[in-house]
Homo-oligomer: A and B are copies of this chain.
Amino acid sequence: MSVATETKVSLEGLNLTASRRAVLDIVKGAKKPMKAYDILSDLQQVIPHAKPPTVYRALDYLVTNHLLHRVNAQNAFVYCQHHEKCFHDHPERFNVIFTCITCGAITEQAHHVMSNVMAEMTKAMGFMSDSHILECTGVCKECS
């Protein structure tokens, strides 16, 4: 069940302008989290007049629409590794993004129990969550 091959569902109902599409392709094509100004450099190969706001506006749109995740711990952006599952099958699911502080590798894990635990906590607090991404830094298997 490769996510990468199933692009049709992800793109339904989205207004992917040229800038947004280009930024999405850049981040999706990268194998590491991409920083805004790295994206800008790549984007300027395609859209020479692109400026920082061009990138940030596209990123805002793509994150809001769940095609990308922002990795706060790194000020970076990654393509959602399971966009359909996260938001179609289990809207309340929590994802956890693991970042290796040694090699920078990113792994996105969706976890049912975690989702339930977070649902319990937020319910008990009366807190309406709008962010389903939790971040964990450490050292990955390969680097330890």
Which residues of A pack against B, CB within 8 Å? Answer: 2-3, 72-73, 96, 98, 100-101, 107, 109, 111, 113-114, 117-118, 120-122, 125-131, 134-141, 144
Contact = CB atoms under 8 A, between A and B. Distances in A.
Give me the 5 closest cross-chain CB pairs, A-B, nearest first.
A126-B141, A72-B72, A134-B134, A129-B138, A131-B137
B117 A111 contact: yes
A104 to B, nearest CB: 14
Copies of this chain, complex-wide, total 2
A100 B127 CA distance: 8
Contact of A130 (B3, B111, B122, B139): B139
A135 B135 contact: yes
Contacts of A113: 117, 120
B140 A127 contact: yes
Contacts of A138: 2-3, 122, 127-131
A129 B136 CA distance: 7
A36 to B, nearest CB: 14
Contacts of A127: 98, 100, 107, 136, 138-141
A137 B141 contact: no
